[in-house]
Amino acid sequence: MDKILVHGNRRLKGTVRISGSKNSALPILAAALLTREPCVISRVPDLSDIHYMLTILSELGCEVERASGVVTVKAENVTTEAPYEIVRKMRASVCILGPLLGREKEATVSLPGGCIIGDRPIDLHLRGFEALGAAVRVQSGNVKVLAPELRGSTISLRGKFGSTVLGTDNVMMAAVLAEGTTVIDGAAEEPEVVDLANFLIAMGAKIEGAGTRRIIIEGVKELHGAEHEVIPDRIEAGTFLVAAAICGDGVTLTRVEPGHLTAVLDSLSQAGFQVETDKNRITISPNGTRRPLKLDALPYPSFPTDMQAQMCALLATTDGISVVTDNVFPQRFMHVSELKRMGANIELQGGTAIIHGVEKLSGAPVMASDLRASAALVLAGLQAEGVTEVNRVYHIDRGYESIDDKLNSLGAEIERLKV
């Protein structure tokens, strides 16, 4: 198990290239199960979650090849059962349910694992499958779905804390091979959903409305192979923007989609930073005094829950009082106790963090609890005096491709040690 040592008080400057989106690549790889023909997917990031997904596809019988960010999947003959041993490490493995149900009309998948960031049930996924005509049973830790045939239906995926991204993905993948028309109301609007829909359309699916609250799918008899390039990872981009805000002297992100980051860019501008955008570039620079913020994490296009931990790290040393509320995962504040170990002054009130900015943080041993919390601790270490030791960095390797190397290329001093 690795740990990361972050030497603080280094200034960042230069250019960094953003990788392909993890949250797009995972369901797109799963969607290759919908056809017997080869699918070629490029700009796939080198992450442990991607490795787990490719392992799952191989275990299901797919032929998988990977080279230089390009993955080829041929699912000519597949099994329909994914046991606990191969899905337990990644929650997103649940997204194989939809394509297996769509193609084979049955699937058995163990309830998945992943980050522990509060209650993230899959009942909305299952409700969608039932609306398409599938029988659903949860037994002995497994989800079993079975349908002699799938028929289009009108399905609501509105949940307690907003729409479900993976649920929208899963139902959309099952519905593309259902008979008739499916309407998903309360669909997730995230760019990753649009990216999956574009891949499915390239495979021959008929989908309208992706990126809105209402997606209409006209079922087809079969899909064919396709090629697709994954969109840039907006959360990786947001994380590097916050790193540059914390200790940057002018940092430019390339291979990025500024339109996917509007809420993050607006928040950084409100916090006192100069942000310039071009077609596939974003540059962020200091612009006077930092200002505190009031942030509410909500489903896209609002400020993303996947960025609230990183913003807490920035606001920890921003003079004044900032208030950060997570309306998507109200329990997603495990990073707060670790930031407090470094000297942050943060009070938790339910799903809200009240942050009193301090002058400086001090390096300390800290423990990563989930993917985005681990990134926040690295960012906090960039501005701390002394050395910050981040343990359990396997979390960060789930979603950030070579984050230590990329930050070092900008002027950080980060060591990765085997323990």
Q: Which residues are catalytic?
A: 115
Tell me the C-alpha to C-alpha distance, in Å, between residue 314 and each of 319, 320, 361, 407: 11, 12, 11, 16
Residue 238 phi, psi (nearest 5): -60, -40
Find all residues with CB under 8 Å of 259, minimum gap 6, and list them: none
Question: Are 62 and 268 spatial neighbours (Cβ–Cβ below 8 Å)?
Answer: no
Full DSSP string of 325-338:
EESS-TT--HHHHH
Q: Is 46 helix (H, G, I), strand (E, B) or coil?
A: coil
Q: How is residue 37 annotated by DSSP? A: S
Find all residues with CB under 8 Å of 380, minimum gap 6, and list them: 313, 316, 339, 342, 344, 361, 366, 388
Residue 267 phi, psi (nearest 5): -65, -40
**Run of H or E residues at 192:** helix 191-202
Residue 316 phi, psi (nearest 5): -60, -30
Place of tokens 């200002």: 291
Question: Are 2 and 416 spatial neighbours (Cβ–Cβ below 8 Å)?
Answer: yes
Sequence-ordered strand ranges (E) for 328-396? 345-349, 352-356, 365-367, 387-391
d(CA 231, CA 161): 26
Question: Are 19 and 42 spatial neighbours (Cβ–Cβ below 8 Å)?
Answer: no
Specify which residues 263 forms β-bridges with: none
**Run of H or E residues at 191:** helix 191-202
Place of tokens 């928040």: 267
Question: Are 26 and 399 spatial neighbours (Cβ–Cβ below 8 Å)?
Answer: no
Tell me the C-alpha to C-alpha distance, in Å, between residue 65 and each of 177, 397, 398: 26, 21, 20
In single-letter form, the type of residue at position 305 comes to T
Residue 207 phi, psi (nearest 5): -135, 135
